[in-house]
Structure 1
Protein backbone atom coordinates (compact mmCIF):
# COMPACT_ATOMS: atom_id res chain seq x y z
CA UNK A 1 0.00 0.00 0.00
CA UNK A 2 1.41 3.39 -1.00
CA UNK A 3 1.67 6.19 1.55
CA UNK A 4 -1.04 8.14 -0.29
CA UNK A 5 -3.59 5.33 -0.16
CA UNK A 6 -6.06 5.85 2.70
CA UNK A 7 -6.43 2.94 5.11
CA UNK A 8 -9.64 1.03 4.75
CA UNK A 9 -11.92 0.95 7.82
CA UNK A 10 -11.89 -2.36 9.64
CA UNK A 11 -15.52 -3.63 9.72
CA UNK A 12 -14.73 -5.90 12.67
CA UNK A 13 -13.41 -2.91 14.66
CA UNK A 14 -16.58 -0.94 13.82
CA UNK A 15 -18.71 -3.77 15.09
CA UNK A 16 -16.65 -4.03 18.27
CA UNK A 17 -17.07 -0.32 18.98
CA UNK A 18 -20.80 -0.21 18.24
CA UNK A 19 -23.12 0.09 21.25
CA UNK A 20 -24.68 -3.20 22.23
CA UNK A 21 -27.86 -4.21 24.01
CA UNK A 22 -27.30 -4.63 27.76
CA UNK A 23 -28.51 -7.44 29.92
CA UNK A 24 -30.78 -6.72 32.84
CA UNK A 25 -27.81 -7.39 35.15
CA UNK A 26 -25.81 -4.65 33.41
CA UNK A 27 -28.69 -2.19 33.73
CA UNK A 28 -29.00 -3.08 37.41
CA UNK A 29 -25.27 -2.44 37.94
CA UNK A 30 -25.57 1.01 36.36
CA UNK A 31 -28.69 1.74 38.37
CA UNK A 32 -26.93 0.73 41.60
CA UNK A 33 -24.15 3.20 40.86
CA UNK A 34 -26.64 6.05 40.50
CA UNK A 35 -29.10 5.13 43.28
CA UNK A 36 -27.38 2.71 45.69
CA UNK A 37 -29.62 0.28 47.52
CA UNK A 38 -27.64 1.02 50.69
CA UNK A 39 -29.35 4.42 50.85
CA UNK A 40 -32.81 2.88 51.21
CA UNK A 41 -34.50 3.17 54.60
CA UNK A 42 -34.62 -0.04 56.66
CA UNK A 43 -38.41 -0.37 56.26
CA UNK A 44 -38.33 0.04 52.49
CA UNK A 45 -38.69 -2.60 49.75
CA UNK A 46 -36.54 -1.64 46.78
CA UNK A 47 -34.69 -3.51 44.07
CA UNK A 48 -35.57 -6.11 41.46
CA UNK A 49 -39.09 -7.51 41.88
CA UNK A 50 -39.29 -9.66 38.76
CA UNK A 51 -36.96 -10.44 35.88
CA UNK A 52 -34.08 -12.64 34.72
CA UNK A 53 -30.64 -10.99 35.10
CA UNK A 54 -29.39 -12.47 31.81
CA UNK A 55 -32.35 -11.18 29.75
CA UNK A 56 -31.59 -8.46 27.17
CA UNK A 57 -33.03 -5.01 27.79
CA UNK A 58 -33.68 -2.89 24.70
CA UNK A 59 -36.35 -0.59 26.12
CA UNK A 60 -36.87 0.81 29.63
CA UNK A 61 -40.04 2.48 30.92
CA UNK A 62 -40.06 4.79 33.98
CA UNK A 63 -43.09 5.64 36.12
CA UNK A 64 -44.01 6.65 39.66
CA UNK A 65 -46.55 3.93 40.47
CA UNK A 66 -46.60 0.22 39.53
CA UNK A 67 -50.33 0.24 38.79
CA UNK A 68 -52.11 -1.79 36.13
CA UNK A 69 -52.32 1.02 33.56
CA UNK A 70 -48.57 1.59 33.85
CA UNK A 71 -47.82 -2.13 33.46
CA UNK A 72 -50.07 -2.27 30.39
CA UNK A 73 -48.37 0.84 28.97
CA UNK A 74 -44.88 -0.60 29.48
CA UNK A 75 -45.74 -3.92 27.85
CA UNK A 76 -47.51 -2.22 24.94
CA UNK A 77 -44.41 -0.08 24.38
CA UNK A 78 -42.28 -3.22 24.12
CA UNK A 79 -40.27 -2.48 27.27
CA UNK A 80 -38.18 -5.23 28.83
CA UNK A 81 -37.84 -3.29 32.10
CA UNK A 82 -40.26 -1.12 34.06
CA UNK A 83 -38.66 1.07 36.73
CA UNK A 84 -41.04 2.59 39.26
CA UNK A 85 -40.41 4.86 42.20
CA UNK A 86 -43.01 3.27 44.45
CA UNK A 87 -42.66 -0.37 45.46
CA UNK A 88 -45.36 -2.82 44.40
CA UNK A 89 -44.75 -5.11 47.37
CA UNK A 90 -43.95 -2.64 50.16
CA UNK A 91 -46.34 -4.47 52.46
CA UNK A 92 -45.92 -8.23 52.56
CA UNK A 93 -48.15 -10.46 50.50
CA UNK A 94 -48.64 -14.23 50.57
CA UNK A 95 -49.63 -14.60 46.94
CA UNK A 96 -49.13 -12.95 43.56
CA UNK A 97 -52.01 -14.82 41.96
CA UNK A 98 -53.79 -12.83 39.28
CA UNK A 99 -56.91 -12.74 41.47
CA UNK A 100 -55.60 -9.57 43.16
CA UNK A 101 -54.43 -6.27 41.67
CA UNK A 102 -50.79 -6.76 42.69
CA UNK A 103 -50.75 -10.25 41.25
CA UNK A 104 -52.31 -9.03 38.02
CA UNK A 105 -49.53 -6.45 37.65
CA UNK A 106 -46.87 -9.10 38.22
CA UNK A 107 -48.51 -11.48 35.72
CA UNK A 108 -48.93 -8.72 33.13
CA UNK A 109 -45.23 -7.86 33.30
CA UNK A 110 -43.88 -11.41 33.35
CA UNK A 111 -46.17 -12.58 30.56
CA UNK A 112 -45.17 -9.49 28.57
CA UNK A 113 -41.45 -10.15 29.05
CA UNK A 114 -40.98 -7.06 31.21
CA UNK A 115 -38.96 -6.98 34.44
CA UNK A 116 -39.84 -4.71 37.38
CA UNK A 117 -37.35 -2.66 39.40
CA UNK A 118 -38.25 -0.22 42.16
CA UNK A 119 -36.17 2.66 43.55
CA UNK A 120 -37.88 4.35 46.48
CA UNK A 121 -36.05 5.93 49.41
CA UNK A 122 -32.69 5.23 47.77
CA UNK A 123 -33.86 7.44 44.89
CA UNK A 124 -35.00 10.02 47.45
CA UNK A 125 -31.65 10.11 49.22
CA UNK A 126 -29.10 9.85 46.39
CA UNK A 127 -27.42 12.78 44.71
CA UNK A 128 -29.60 13.70 41.75
CA UNK A 129 -32.57 12.03 43.44
CA UNK A 130 -36.14 13.20 43.97
CA UNK A 131 -35.51 16.07 46.38
CA UNK A 132 -32.43 17.25 44.49
CA UNK A 133 -34.55 17.52 41.35
CA UNK A 134 -37.29 19.45 43.18
CA UNK A 135 -34.70 21.82 44.64
CA UNK A 136 -33.21 22.38 41.20
CA UNK A 137 -36.61 22.96 39.57
CA UNK A 138 -37.47 25.55 42.24
CA UNK A 139 -34.17 27.35 41.76
CA UNK A 140 -32.55 26.56 45.12
CA UNK A 141 -28.85 27.13 45.67
CA UNK A 142 -26.28 25.71 48.10
CA UNK A 143 -28.45 22.74 48.96
CA UNK A 144 -27.78 20.24 51.71
CA UNK A 145 -29.72 17.21 53.00
CA UNK A 146 -32.58 17.86 55.39
CA UNK A 147 -31.94 14.51 57.09
CA UNK A 148 -28.41 13.33 56.17
CA UNK A 149 -27.94 9.65 55.34
CA UNK A 150 -26.48 7.65 58.20
CA UNK A 151 -23.93 5.82 56.05
CA UNK A 152 -23.84 7.95 52.94
CA UNK A 153 -21.92 10.88 51.53
CA UNK A 154 -22.39 14.31 53.16
CA UNK A 155 -24.65 15.38 50.27
CA UNK A 156 -26.88 12.29 50.52
CA UNK A 157 -30.02 12.02 52.64
CA UNK A 158 -33.75 12.62 52.73
CA UNK A 159 -34.99 16.07 51.68
CA UNK A 160 -32.99 19.16 50.83
CA UNK A 161 -32.56 22.69 52.21
CA UNK A 162 -31.34 25.56 50.08
CA UNK A 163 -31.78 29.24 49.34
CA UNK A 164 -33.51 31.16 46.58
CA UNK A 165 -31.50 33.59 44.47
CA UNK A 166 -33.45 36.39 46.12
CA UNK A 167 -36.25 36.63 48.64
CA UNK A 168 -39.81 36.48 47.32
CA UNK A 169 -43.27 36.54 48.82
CA UNK A 170 -44.86 33.29 49.89
CA UNK A 171 -47.61 33.92 47.32
CA UNK A 172 -45.11 34.27 44.48
CA UNK A 173 -43.12 31.29 45.67
CA UNK A 174 -46.27 29.14 45.86
CA UNK A 175 -47.07 30.18 42.29
CA UNK A 176 -43.59 29.03 41.26
CA UNK A 177 -44.21 25.67 42.91
CA UNK A 178 -47.60 25.35 41.24
CA UNK A 179 -46.09 26.09 37.83
CA UNK A 180 -43.35 23.50 38.30
CA UNK A 181 -45.57 20.60 39.31
CA UNK A 182 -47.53 18.30 36.98
CA UNK A 183 -51.21 19.25 36.81
CA UNK A 184 -53.24 17.16 39.26
CA UNK A 185 -56.68 17.52 40.83
CA UNK A 186 -55.47 18.60 44.26
CA UNK A 187 -53.35 21.52 43.10
CA UNK A 188 -51.16 23.20 45.74
CA UNK A 189 -52.21 24.15 49.28
CA UNK A 190 -50.46 26.87 51.25
CA UNK A 191 -50.33 27.81 54.93
CA UNK A 192 -48.86 31.17 55.90
CA UNK A 193 -48.79 34.89 55.21
CA UNK A 194 -49.20 35.36 51.44
CA UNK A 195 -47.07 38.53 51.62
CA UNK A 196 -44.44 37.09 53.96
CA UNK A 197 -40.93 36.92 52.50
CA UNK A 198 -39.18 33.57 52.03
CA UNK A 199 -35.56 32.85 51.15
CA UNK A 200 -34.53 29.58 52.80
CA UNK A 201 -36.54 26.62 51.53
CA UNK A 202 -36.81 23.01 52.70
CA UNK A 203 -38.19 20.39 50.33
CA UNK A 204 -39.02 16.71 50.59
CA UNK A 205 -40.53 14.70 47.75
CA UNK A 206 -43.42 12.49 48.81
CA UNK A 207 -44.75 12.34 52.37
CA UNK A 208 -42.62 14.58 54.59
CA UNK A 209 -44.63 15.47 57.68
CA UNK A 210 -42.37 13.34 59.87
CA UNK A 211 -39.50 15.77 59.34
CA UNK A 212 -40.82 18.92 61.00
CA UNK A 213 -38.14 18.89 63.71
CA UNK A 214 -35.50 18.80 60.98
CA UNK A 215 -37.25 21.58 59.08
CA UNK A 216 -37.37 23.85 62.14
CA UNK A 217 -33.73 23.13 62.94
CA UNK A 218 -32.76 24.06 59.37
CA UNK A 219 -34.13 27.58 59.76
CA UNK A 220 -36.27 27.20 56.64
CA UNK A 221 -38.81 29.94 55.92
CA UNK A 222 -41.05 27.52 54.02
CA UNK A 223 -41.38 23.75 53.68
CA UNK A 224 -42.52 22.08 50.46
CA UNK A 225 -43.72 18.49 50.72
CA UNK A 226 -46.72 16.23 50.18
CA UNK A 227 -49.31 14.35 52.25
CA UNK A 228 -49.47 16.75 55.19
CA UNK A 229 -51.78 15.17 57.73
CA UNK A 230 -54.01 17.40 59.83
CA UNK A 231 -52.38 16.94 63.24
CA UNK A 232 -48.71 17.32 62.24
CA UNK A 233 -49.60 20.33 60.06
CA UNK A 234 -51.71 21.92 62.79
CA UNK A 235 -48.99 21.40 65.40
CA UNK A 236 -46.37 22.81 63.04
CA UNK A 237 -48.44 25.95 62.53
CA UNK A 238 -49.01 26.38 66.26
CA UNK A 239 -45.30 25.98 66.97
CA UNK A 240 -44.57 28.58 64.28
CA UNK A 241 -46.55 31.26 66.12
CA UNK A 242 -43.43 31.97 68.18
CA UNK A 243 -41.16 32.00 65.12
CA UNK A 244 -42.78 34.68 62.99
CA UNK A 245 -45.15 32.15 61.47
CA UNK A 246 -42.32 30.17 59.93
CA UNK A 247 -41.87 27.68 58.48
CA UNK A 248 -44.75 28.31 56.13
CA UNK A 249 -46.15 25.19 54.47
CA UNK A 250 -46.66 24.38 50.80
CA UNK A 251 -48.35 21.04 50.19
CA UNK A 252 -48.07 19.45 46.76
CA UNK A 253 -49.21 16.19 45.19
CA UNK A 254 -47.25 13.13 46.30
CA UNK A 255 -47.33 11.81 42.74
CA UNK A 256 -46.45 15.18 41.23
CA UNK A 257 -43.47 15.84 43.49
CA UNK A 258 -41.94 12.48 42.61
CA UNK A 259 -42.81 12.49 38.91
CA UNK A 260 -40.35 15.38 38.46
CA UNK A 261 -37.50 12.93 39.10
CA UNK A 262 -38.38 10.64 36.19
CA UNK A 263 -37.02 12.69 33.25
CA UNK A 264 -33.82 13.42 35.17
CA UNK A 265 -33.46 9.75 36.10
CA UNK A 266 -33.98 8.69 32.50
CA UNK A 267 -31.29 11.10 31.33
CA UNK A 268 -28.80 10.03 34.00
CA UNK A 269 -29.32 6.32 33.35
CA UNK A 270 -29.09 6.79 29.58
CA UNK A 271 -25.83 8.73 29.92
CA UNK A 272 -24.23 6.13 32.16
CA UNK A 273 -25.25 3.20 29.93
CA UNK A 274 -24.02 5.08 26.85
CA UNK A 275 -20.67 5.70 28.54
CA UNK A 276 -20.43 1.94 29.04
CA UNK A 277 -21.09 1.25 25.38
CA UNK A 278 -24.63 0.06 25.97
CA UNK A 279 -27.61 1.12 23.87
CA UNK A 280 -31.15 1.21 25.27
CA UNK A 281 -34.27 3.26 24.63
CA UNK A 282 -35.68 4.94 27.75
CA UNK A 283 -39.16 6.44 27.98
CA UNK A 284 -41.02 8.20 30.79
CA UNK A 285 -44.67 7.33 31.34
CA UNK A 286 -47.10 10.10 30.54
CA UNK A 287 -49.82 8.60 32.69
CA UNK A 288 -51.15 10.60 35.63
CA UNK A 289 -51.37 8.07 38.45
CA UNK A 290 -52.30 10.56 41.14
CA UNK A 291 -55.23 8.80 42.89
CA UNK A 292 -57.53 11.86 42.91
CA UNK A 293 -59.74 12.75 39.96
CA UNK A 294 -61.33 16.07 40.97
CA UNK A 295 -61.62 18.43 43.91
CA UNK A 296 -64.37 20.74 45.15
CA UNK A 297 -63.47 24.07 46.73
CA UNK A 298 -65.55 26.98 48.01
CA UNK A 299 -67.04 28.74 45.02
CA UNK A 300 -66.23 25.86 42.68
Structure 2
Protein backbone atom coordinates (compact mmCIF):
# COMPACT_ATOMS: atom_id res chain seq x y z
CA UNK A 1 0.00 0.00 0.00
CA UNK A 2 1.01 3.60 -0.55
CA UNK A 3 -0.07 6.33 1.87
CA UNK A 4 -0.28 9.71 0.15
CA UNK A 5 -0.08 12.42 2.80
CA UNK A 6 -0.93 16.10 2.41
CA UNK A 7 0.68 18.00 5.31
CA UNK A 8 1.47 21.57 6.25
CA UNK A 9 2.33 21.63 9.97
CA UNK A 10 3.17 19.68 13.13
CA UNK A 11 6.28 17.65 12.32
CA UNK A 12 6.06 15.68 15.57
CA UNK A 13 2.57 14.41 14.83
CA UNK A 14 3.54 13.63 11.25
CA UNK A 15 6.49 11.60 12.51
CA UNK A 16 4.15 9.70 14.82
CA UNK A 17 1.76 9.00 11.95
CA UNK A 18 4.57 7.71 9.77
CA UNK A 19 5.88 5.45 12.53
CA UNK A 20 2.46 3.80 12.65
CA UNK A 21 1.87 3.58 8.89
CA UNK A 22 5.31 2.39 7.78
CA UNK A 23 7.25 0.91 10.72
CA UNK A 24 10.63 -0.78 10.09
CA UNK A 25 10.40 -3.71 7.65
CA UNK A 26 6.99 -2.53 6.42
CA UNK A 27 6.18 -3.51 2.81
CA UNK A 28 4.37 -0.19 2.37
CA UNK A 29 5.48 3.31 1.45
CA UNK A 30 4.45 6.76 2.69
CA UNK A 31 4.76 9.75 0.36
CA UNK A 32 4.51 13.21 1.91
CA UNK A 33 3.61 16.47 0.18
CA UNK A 34 4.46 19.39 2.48
CA UNK A 35 3.04 22.78 1.55
CA UNK A 36 5.89 24.71 -0.06
CA UNK A 37 5.12 27.81 2.02
CA UNK A 38 5.20 25.94 5.33
CA UNK A 39 7.84 25.64 8.02
CA UNK A 40 7.23 21.89 7.80
CA UNK A 41 8.62 21.81 4.26
CA UNK A 42 11.68 23.78 5.31
CA UNK A 43 12.30 21.23 8.06
CA UNK A 44 11.70 18.16 5.91
CA UNK A 45 13.88 19.30 3.02
CA UNK A 46 16.89 19.38 5.35
CA UNK A 47 16.49 15.78 6.43
CA UNK A 48 18.60 13.05 4.80
CA UNK A 49 17.10 10.54 2.40
CA UNK A 50 15.59 7.36 3.84
CA UNK A 51 17.79 4.47 2.70
CA UNK A 52 14.91 2.00 3.11
CA UNK A 53 12.60 3.97 0.81
CA UNK A 54 9.68 3.58 3.23
CA UNK A 55 9.20 7.35 3.58
CA UNK A 56 9.50 9.76 0.71
CA UNK A 57 8.96 13.50 0.59
CA UNK A 58 7.90 15.20 -2.64
CA UNK A 59 10.94 17.19 -3.73
CA UNK A 60 8.96 19.69 -5.86
CA UNK A 61 5.93 20.65 -3.72
CA UNK A 62 3.46 23.39 -4.56
CA UNK A 63 2.23 26.27 -2.41
CA UNK A 64 -1.25 25.09 -1.45
CA UNK A 65 -4.18 27.48 -0.95
CA UNK A 66 -7.56 26.46 0.40
CA UNK A 67 -10.15 25.97 -2.33
CA UNK A 68 -7.62 26.67 -5.09
CA UNK A 69 -6.56 24.33 -7.90
CA UNK A 70 -3.17 24.08 -6.16
CA UNK A 71 -4.85 21.40 -4.04
CA UNK A 72 -5.25 19.28 -7.19
CA UNK A 73 -1.66 20.04 -8.22
CA UNK A 74 -0.40 18.71 -4.87
CA UNK A 75 -2.53 15.56 -5.21
CA UNK A 76 -1.26 15.06 -8.77
CA UNK A 77 2.34 15.05 -7.54
CA UNK A 78 1.54 12.49 -4.87
CA UNK A 79 -0.26 10.32 -7.44
CA UNK A 80 2.66 10.65 -9.85
CA UNK A 81 5.11 9.28 -7.30
CA UNK A 82 2.74 6.63 -5.95
CA UNK A 83 2.01 5.24 -9.41
CA UNK A 84 5.70 4.39 -9.77
CA UNK A 85 5.83 2.33 -6.58
CA UNK A 86 3.87 -0.64 -7.90
CA UNK A 87 1.45 -0.45 -4.99
CA UNK A 88 -1.81 -2.41 -4.96
CA UNK A 89 -3.78 0.34 -3.20
CA UNK A 90 -3.17 4.01 -2.47
CA UNK A 91 -4.77 6.00 0.36
CA UNK A 92 -4.93 9.80 0.23
CA UNK A 93 -4.88 11.18 3.78
CA UNK A 94 -3.70 14.31 5.56
CA UNK A 95 -1.08 14.85 8.22
CA UNK A 96 -3.97 15.39 10.65
CA UNK A 97 -5.41 11.89 9.98
CA UNK A 98 -4.87 8.66 11.87
CA UNK A 99 -5.57 4.98 11.09
CA UNK A 100 -8.61 3.52 12.85
CA UNK A 101 -7.81 -0.12 12.02
CA UNK A 102 -4.65 -2.20 11.99
CA UNK A 103 -2.69 -2.67 8.82
CA UNK A 104 -3.62 -6.38 8.78
CA UNK A 105 -7.35 -5.60 9.01
CA UNK A 106 -7.10 -2.94 6.31
CA UNK A 107 -5.19 -5.25 3.95
CA UNK A 108 -7.67 -8.09 4.54
CA UNK A 109 -10.65 -5.86 3.78
CA UNK A 110 -9.03 -4.53 0.61
CA UNK A 111 -8.10 -8.02 -0.55
CA UNK A 112 -11.71 -9.15 -0.26
CA UNK A 113 -13.24 -6.03 -1.82
CA UNK A 114 -12.72 -6.98 -5.46
CA UNK A 115 -10.85 -3.81 -6.40
CA UNK A 116 -13.45 -1.30 -5.23
CA UNK A 117 -12.78 2.43 -5.53
CA UNK A 118 -13.37 3.90 -2.09
CA UNK A 119 -14.24 7.47 -2.99
CA UNK A 120 -17.28 9.62 -2.34
CA UNK A 121 -18.91 10.65 -5.65
CA UNK A 122 -22.26 12.46 -5.66
CA UNK A 123 -23.39 13.51 -9.18
CA UNK A 124 -24.29 17.15 -9.63
CA UNK A 125 -23.74 18.32 -6.05
CA UNK A 126 -22.08 21.77 -5.87
CA UNK A 127 -21.28 21.56 -9.59
CA UNK A 128 -21.62 25.36 -9.84
CA UNK A 129 -18.12 25.51 -8.31
CA UNK A 130 -16.79 24.00 -11.53
CA UNK A 131 -19.04 25.95 -13.90
CA UNK A 132 -18.35 29.49 -12.75
CA UNK A 133 -15.09 31.40 -13.27
CA UNK A 134 -13.78 33.11 -10.14
CA UNK A 135 -10.84 35.53 -10.18
CA UNK A 136 -10.35 35.48 -6.41
CA UNK A 137 -9.59 31.79 -5.90
CA UNK A 138 -6.00 32.36 -4.62
CA UNK A 139 -7.44 34.46 -1.76
CA UNK A 140 -10.55 32.59 -0.63
CA UNK A 141 -9.61 32.63 3.05
CA UNK A 142 -8.40 36.17 3.60
CA UNK A 143 -9.11 37.49 7.09
CA UNK A 144 -11.20 40.68 6.68
CA UNK A 145 -9.84 42.02 9.99
CA UNK A 146 -6.18 41.61 9.06
CA UNK A 147 -6.45 42.05 5.28
CA UNK A 148 -9.29 44.56 5.00
CA UNK A 149 -8.11 46.23 1.80
CA UNK A 150 -7.26 43.01 -0.02
CA UNK A 151 -10.53 41.48 1.19
CA UNK A 152 -12.47 44.38 -0.35
CA UNK A 153 -10.64 43.87 -3.65
CA UNK A 154 -11.63 40.18 -3.71
CA UNK A 155 -15.29 41.16 -3.44
CA UNK A 156 -14.88 43.37 -6.49
CA UNK A 157 -13.27 40.44 -8.30
CA UNK A 158 -16.27 38.27 -7.36
CA UNK A 159 -18.65 40.91 -8.69
CA UNK A 160 -16.75 41.00 -11.99
CA UNK A 161 -16.80 37.20 -12.18
CA UNK A 162 -20.57 37.10 -11.64
CA UNK A 163 -21.10 39.64 -14.42
CA UNK A 164 -18.95 37.64 -16.84
CA UNK A 165 -20.66 34.37 -15.88
CA UNK A 166 -24.06 35.94 -16.51
CA UNK A 167 -22.90 37.22 -19.90
CA UNK A 168 -21.57 33.80 -20.81
CA UNK A 169 -24.83 32.15 -19.79
CA UNK A 170 -26.81 34.65 -21.85
CA UNK A 171 -25.10 33.54 -25.04
CA UNK A 172 -25.36 29.85 -24.15
CA UNK A 173 -21.64 29.34 -23.52
CA UNK A 174 -20.67 26.72 -20.95
CA UNK A 175 -17.39 25.53 -19.54
CA UNK A 176 -16.30 22.16 -20.88
CA UNK A 177 -17.17 18.84 -19.23
CA UNK A 178 -14.10 16.70 -19.96
CA UNK A 179 -15.44 13.73 -17.95
CA UNK A 180 -19.18 14.30 -18.14
CA UNK A 181 -21.24 15.68 -15.30
CA UNK A 182 -19.19 16.79 -12.32
CA UNK A 183 -19.38 14.68 -9.17
CA UNK A 184 -18.70 15.85 -5.63
CA UNK A 185 -16.98 14.10 -2.76
CA UNK A 186 -14.54 14.34 0.10
CA UNK A 187 -11.04 14.69 -1.34
CA UNK A 188 -9.85 11.72 0.76
CA UNK A 189 -9.93 8.32 -0.95
CA UNK A 190 -8.52 4.77 -1.21
CA UNK A 191 -8.00 3.51 -4.76
CA UNK A 192 -6.64 0.34 -6.43
CA UNK A 193 -3.69 0.35 -8.82
CA UNK A 194 -5.67 0.69 -12.06
CA UNK A 195 -7.59 3.71 -10.76
CA UNK A 196 -4.34 5.26 -9.51
CA UNK A 197 -2.77 4.75 -12.95
CA UNK A 198 -5.75 6.50 -14.55
CA UNK A 199 -5.31 9.50 -12.26
CA UNK A 200 -1.58 9.57 -13.05
CA UNK A 201 -2.49 10.00 -16.72
CA UNK A 202 -5.46 12.33 -16.41
CA UNK A 203 -4.51 14.78 -13.67
CA UNK A 204 -1.48 16.29 -15.48
CA UNK A 205 -3.54 16.53 -18.67
CA UNK A 206 -6.41 18.28 -16.89
CA UNK A 207 -4.10 20.70 -15.08
CA UNK A 208 -2.34 21.59 -18.33
CA UNK A 209 -5.66 22.28 -20.07
CA UNK A 210 -6.43 25.32 -17.84
CA UNK A 211 -9.95 23.90 -17.27
CA UNK A 212 -9.51 24.25 -13.52
CA UNK A 213 -8.71 27.96 -13.64
CA UNK A 214 -11.26 29.97 -11.70
CA UNK A 215 -12.91 26.94 -10.08
CA UNK A 216 -13.54 26.64 -6.34
CA UNK A 217 -12.69 23.49 -4.33
CA UNK A 218 -11.90 21.53 -7.48
CA UNK A 219 -10.10 18.97 -5.28
CA UNK A 220 -13.58 17.84 -4.16
CA UNK A 221 -14.73 17.29 -7.75
CA UNK A 222 -11.88 16.20 -10.00
CA UNK A 223 -10.97 12.78 -8.60
CA UNK A 224 -14.59 11.81 -7.78
CA UNK A 225 -15.63 12.68 -11.34
CA UNK A 226 -12.77 10.88 -13.09
CA UNK A 227 -13.21 7.73 -11.00
CA UNK A 228 -17.02 7.75 -11.22
CA UNK A 229 -16.87 8.08 -15.01
CA UNK A 230 -14.31 5.30 -15.44
CA UNK A 231 -15.45 2.82 -12.77
CA UNK A 232 -19.16 3.43 -12.04
CA UNK A 233 -19.79 -0.17 -10.92
CA UNK A 234 -16.85 -0.16 -8.50
CA UNK A 235 -17.66 2.87 -6.35
CA UNK A 236 -17.78 2.42 -2.59
CA UNK A 237 -17.69 4.65 0.49
CA UNK A 238 -14.44 6.41 1.34
CA UNK A 239 -14.28 4.83 4.84
CA UNK A 240 -13.27 8.04 6.61
CA UNK A 241 -14.65 9.29 9.91
CA UNK A 242 -15.11 13.07 9.62
CA UNK A 243 -17.38 15.42 11.57
CA UNK A 244 -18.34 18.88 10.29
CA UNK A 245 -19.93 21.40 12.67
CA UNK A 246 -23.21 22.82 11.28
CA UNK A 247 -22.54 25.44 8.65
CA UNK A 248 -18.76 24.98 8.72
CA UNK A 249 -16.50 24.09 5.77
CA UNK A 250 -13.75 22.55 7.92
CA UNK A 251 -14.10 19.41 10.07
CA UNK A 252 -13.87 19.73 13.82
CA UNK A 253 -11.08 18.21 15.87
CA UNK A 254 -11.99 14.79 17.23
CA UNK A 255 -11.59 13.80 20.89
CA UNK A 256 -11.99 10.81 23.19
CA UNK A 257 -15.75 11.33 23.18
CA UNK A 258 -15.77 10.18 19.53
CA UNK A 259 -14.25 6.75 20.24
CA UNK A 260 -17.55 4.85 20.24
CA UNK A 261 -18.79 6.52 17.06
CA UNK A 262 -15.48 5.80 15.35
CA UNK A 263 -15.69 2.11 16.27
CA UNK A 264 -19.28 1.93 15.03
CA UNK A 265 -18.42 3.67 11.74
CA UNK A 266 -16.07 0.96 10.42
CA UNK A 267 -13.83 3.76 9.14
CA UNK A 268 -10.26 3.07 8.06
CA UNK A 269 -8.97 6.56 8.88
CA UNK A 270 -10.16 9.39 11.11
CA UNK A 271 -9.72 13.14 10.70
CA UNK A 272 -8.87 15.48 11.99
CA UNK A 273 -6.87 14.99 15.17
CA UNK A 274 -4.22 16.94 17.08
CA UNK A 275 -2.04 15.99 20.02
CA UNK A 276 -2.45 19.47 21.50
CA UNK A 277 -6.24 19.11 21.43
CA UNK A 278 -6.65 15.50 22.63
CA UNK A 279 -3.99 12.80 22.15
CA UNK A 280 -6.54 9.97 22.53
CA UNK A 281 -5.83 8.74 19.00
CA UNK A 282 -2.21 7.80 19.80
CA UNK A 283 -3.45 4.48 21.14
CA UNK A 284 -5.47 3.72 17.99
CA UNK A 285 -5.60 1.18 16.55
CA UNK A 286 -5.24 -0.77 19.82
CA UNK A 287 -2.92 -3.44 18.35
CA UNK A 288 -0.27 -0.86 17.48
CA UNK A 289 2.17 0.56 20.02
CA UNK A 290 4.11 3.71 19.32
CA UNK A 291 7.82 4.19 19.94
CA UNK A 292 8.59 6.56 22.80
CA UNK A 293 9.24 9.36 22.98
CA UNK A 294 7.68 11.10 19.97
CA UNK A 295 9.83 14.14 19.35
CA UNK A 296 9.87 16.97 16.87
CA UNK A 297 13.56 16.13 16.46
CA UNK A 298 12.80 12.57 15.38
CA UNK A 299 14.67 11.91 12.12
CA UNK A 300 12.37 9.12 10.93
CA UNK A 301 11.22 11.18 7.92
CA UNK A 302 13.62 11.46 5.02
CA UNK A 303 13.65 13.31 1.75
CA UNK A 304 14.24 11.74 -1.65
| Structure label with greater radius of gyration | 1
After TM superposition, the score normalised by the length of structure 2 is 0.25
The structure richer in strand per residue is 1
